[in-house]
Structure 1
């Protein structure tokens, strides 16, 4: 990517760039994914820095809200199953886990993970990034649930996660609803020293996050079709499908990978299939961090297990004008246009930061 000599010189300052390349794996692409596949990725791909568990969709968010108001768990009930299997490996390898399993009760998820870690004999830091709503006054104390906006969830971007990484340097970072690609973009910004106006890099980072977010969809999980000779591979290959990971460089270069000699497929076809998944207008893919133009994206295979992704560009209007908020049907008649939203980050030890942001209700 040609950033221009002046811009490239600015990017090259080692004083704030923590790594030249960050390796981020996708350990889960939906709530029903398999923890064993994530463990396999950790064990067989060396030098992993982050593992993202993307387990929250609109359906699962509504399920967690219903459970929470009924007195049950507002976070993913499988979080201990995942952490019991993965924490020993991430602790040994120094890998940070990022997950949106917090759903509508990220503090409850934090408490459960800390208890489990203590039971396993691990001393870890668990940070939480989530939304706190206050529809009254910026001077009043924000609360996560109020009767009139209970269950509303704004698609947060990478900013509160980056702040959590900077402030807490956690072993585990648990979030509420965050745009899927932003879960992956946050560690890129933190590690590679990107600024919020580095639109070219944010576009490439969002491309990487979007390709990774659905896990094995990128590596052939939804690609195989027995009736199509171009998409047919054996059941054994399908069973050995690897979760994906990405190496992202400080200049925005993205290389996608899967476990060496694993099953499934990582190709121009599978990457293109995932690229077009749930994006609406390819020339204007809107995220909370950047609006991306995917029209010129291309893929260059390096081997059966690695492929370059390039060509993502910021759209003409690079910054999104508003955020998307999900409102439960019972509250749909209450429309809070441009309501004041607070993004609150609570760290182990009590540190707290609130960032005011405008959010639109759809």
Structure 2
């Protein structure tokens, strides 16, 4: 059987646009069946995409979809590299239309684009009643935004079997984006638990892109990684027995070694003996990680157990607004002036708003919302301090009030303040719940270019 290679083109929404190119170039030079997976969704990413679609029904898919695919789409079509991504976000049909339009712009024949459905619980019959039952009274009590269930790999595999050159999904479990191609290529059955678990952990290693190739691992002087300005994205070679070898794009920086793989292997794994996914429960408690060559690491010994009877889902509700503002103080007594500005804001707003203060350069990242650490930090002699104040409120008018008060410190506050910056954004609140898998079936259909015209 041909060897199977899966490269990663994105680890989150907003990842580097130039990173997929070297992966595709490397895949072109490899024998066998080749895929590119794109993981573009955090939980809140999808919820904000739902808000974007609500404002404009034509939007709601990955905002960088076209610039992400433009440099590689022609090469992938020409060389038979299948694309699989959750870049459909809240609007997979819209993403399919955008990809079809890009292909036409590039002079390509219309690609066969499969659109996965079934993750959006608000669509289809019975959605509201089902959500009331599963989410509870909050569904009707608070402003509802969205609810999506994590789908698995088998509909991806079915779409590939049906001839899809591009598979566009919304909410799919991250490892399933890689497992789907492995199922399609190797012919794994739904109850091949050890094989599915091996493919799942290969996907887990790919899903965060440069995290496994040294990006999130690097710590100068402790864990040095060369070429971080051009860190390569990973490529997995997945064998029929469920083992995999992780490498990276040729000619790129970064590193793949036992340590980078082990760090990513344990990333977001609550129980190494029971990593829950829609397709299988993976067990890495006896897995082996071996360096077999330069920037090549083999993962073996993953075991699998029967998949859960339920699927994870996330519902989002509007949670008011969050706003922050910053102003800088520098030079002699800068910290004292920043602390005075903080005191001014507390006296002018503290009776109406719960405020968080950070003195960037003194106490910020390790601080807490209640300000206990900052209060316990004695005033020092820092000469380069940026004051940040943040709050949240149901009424956006109070966020605007905070912005005005910080802006007023230009002349109404301590000496030498400058560089005011303000921002505000809608807050979301999340409720996780479990859905019996029979209540959230996944399906797919092929994009119809004629219907899109």
Normalising by structure 2, we get a TM-score of 0.66
In structure 2, what is the Cα distance between the partners aligned to 1:65 and 1:314?
34
**In the TM superposition, what whole-angstrom CA distance separates every residue of 1:55-94 from its partner, at most 9, and x where no partner exists?**
1111211211111112261111111112211111112221
1:291 matches 2:286: no
Secondary structure at 1:251's aligned position in 2? coil
Tell me which residue corresponds to 1:163. 158
In structure 1, what is the Cα distance between the partners aligned to 2:152 and 2:93?
19
Tell me which residue corresponds to 1:122. 108
In structure 2, what is the Cα distance between the partners aligned to 1:127 and 1:90?
16
1:51 matches 2:36: yes
1:207 matches 2:201: yes
Say if 1:337 and 1:253 are closer, same or farther in 2 by CA, change over 3 A: closer
Of 257, 264, 268, which residue of structure 2 is paired with 1:274?
264
In structure 1, what is the Cα distance between the partners aligned to 2:431 and 2:298?
46
Deviation of 1:289 after TM superposition, in Å, equals 0.1
Q: Say if 1:135 and 1:340, in contact at 8 Å, map to a contact too.
A: no
Note the 1:76-95 alignment, pairs <5 A. 76-95=62-81
Deviation of 1:221 after TM superposition, in Å, equals 0.3
In structure 2, what is the Cα distance between the partners aligned to 1:213 and 1:96?
17
Q: Say if 2:257 and 2:297, in contact at 8 Å, map to a contact too.
A: yes
Of 49, 60, 64, which residue of structure 1 is paired with 2:49?
64
| Higher RCO structure (Cα 8 Å, ≥6 apart) | 1
In structure 2, what is the Cα distance between the partners aligned to 1:303 and 1:271?
14
Q: What 5-or-longer segments of structure 2 have no aligned partner?
A: 128-138, 319-428
**In the TM superposition, what whole-angstrom CA distance separates every residue of 1:301-350 from its partner, at most 9, and x where no partner exists?**
111221111111114xx221210011112597998964822423121349
1:36 matches 2:18: yes
Q: Say if 1:21 and 1:192, in contact at 8 Å, map to a contact too.
A: no
Of 216, 219, 232, which residue of structure 1 is paired with 2:224?
232
Say if 1:63 and 1:284 are closer, same or farther in 2 by CA, change over 3 A: same
Q: Say if 1:103 and 1:176, in contact at 8 Å, map to a contact too.
A: yes
Deviation of 1:20 after TM superposition, in Å, equals 4.2
In structure 2, what is the Cα distance between the partners aligned to 1:108 and 1:219?
32
**In the TM superposition, what whole-angstrom CA distance separates every residue of 1:196-216 from its partner, at most 9, and x where no partner exists?**
111111011111010111111
**Count of residues paired in the alignment:** 316
Deviation of 1:21 after TM superposition, in Å, equals 2.2
Secondary structure at 2:78's aligned position in 1? helix
Q: Say if 1:104 and 1:151, in contact at 8 Å, map to a contact too.
A: no
Of 94, 109, 112, which residue of structure 1 is paired with 2:95?
109
Query: Which protein has the bigger strand share?
Result: 2
Normalising by structure 1, we get a TM-score of 0.81
Q: Say if 2:41 and 2:171, in contact at 8 Å, map to a contact too.
A: yes
Deviation of 1:219 after TM superposition, in Å, equals 0.5
Pairwise CA RMSD:
2.4
Q: Say if 1:261 and 1:305, in contact at 8 Å, map to a contact too.
A: no
Say if 1:342 and 1:201 are closer, same or farther in 2 by CA, change over 3 A: closer
In structure 1, what is the Cα distance between the partners aligned to 2:311 and 2:434?
13
In structure 1, what is the Cα distance between the partners aligned to 2:43 and 2:75?
30
Secondary structure at 1:82's aligned position in 2? helix
Of 179, 188, 212, which residue of structure 2 is paired with 1:185?
179
Say if 1:199 and 1:334 are closer, same or farther in 2 by CA, change over 3 A: closer
Deviation of 1:262 after TM superposition, in Å, equals 3.4
Q: Say if 1:51 and 1:96, in contact at 8 Å, map to a contact too.
A: yes
In structure 1, what is the Cα distance between the partners aligned to 2:125 and 2:2?
42
Q: Which moved more, 1:216-225 or 1:86-95?
A: 86-95
Tell me which residue corresponds to 1:140. none
**In the TM superposition, what whole-angstrom CA distance separates every residue of 1:108-131 from its partner, at most 9, and x where no partner exists?**
111111111111111111111121
In structure 1, what is the Cα distance between the partners aligned to 2:25 and 2:35?
13
In structure 2, what is the Cα distance between the partners aligned to 1:270 and 1:181?
18
In structure 1, what is the Cα distance between the partners aligned to 2:76 and 2:157?
20
In structure 2, what is the Cα distance between the partners aligned to 1:335 and 1:178?
16
In structure 1, what is the Cα distance between the partners aligned to 2:81 and 2:262?
29
Secondary structure at 1:257's aligned position in 2? strand
